[in-house]
Amino acid sequence: MRRPAQLRIAALLGASSAAAFALLLALLVHWAFGRAGRLGYSDFNLPGLVEGVVFVLTYSGALIYVRSALRLPSPTLLSFGLLVPPTTGRSAAKVPVVDAAQVARTMLENRIVIVQDGGVPIGITGLHHDRITSWEELVKVEEDMAVTDLRRVLAHEQLAVIVAGSEVRGIVTQEMYLAGLWGSVR
């Protein structure tokens, strides 16, 4: 799992290297045509159009490669790291944390409830109709991780519990993630 600051640096380096690579190839094409390309400077000519097409295709291909190699969200990559996804802690839905004796009453008001015994979380109820899912079976993620990195976790799990040390901050479900977690679903 990566933090938003790590995504920002990776996007800045990846987008910059894609632009540098595309500029280098366009420069090589410029030299190959005997420095005849003048796309947009004085007049349009064939060598200039070829340079422009080479730059656009190379830059697009390099961005596609960088995005898949570094597993970066497109808005983060295209903005050179200016737009980063929120943290998991900011995106997590709050869920009640109750003692085992109060579960039945709290379940009437909430779909998912974290169950604790003596102040220690022991599981979560609401995922399965007939049982409490053990705390050890649940995926726990630190609150300062980028929410986009939950994609791999939520592909196999129904939810991720967001924690800060040993304190539960909330949950992120598959439904929340797929619905566009960027603040629209609570």
Given 53, 78, 103, the domain boundary residue is 78
42 within a domain of the structure (yes/no) = yes
Residue 183: inside a domain = no
121-139 confidence digits (pLDDT tens): 888 877 776 677 888 888 9
Q: What is the CA radius of gyration of the chain?
A: 24
pLDDT per residue over 41-52, tens digit each? 666 778 888 888
Query: 94 and 172 in one domain?
Result: yes
User: How many folded domains does the chain comprise?
Assistant: 2
185 found inside a domain: no
13, part of any domain = yes
Q: Which domain holds residue 172?
A: 88-178
Dihedral in degrees, nearest 10, Cα atoms 97, 104, 173, 137: 80
Give the pTM: 0.71
Residue 24 domain flag: yes
Has residue 63 been placed in a domain?
yes
Cite the beta strand spans of 50-136 per DSSP E. Answer: 97-99, 113-117, 120-125, 132-134
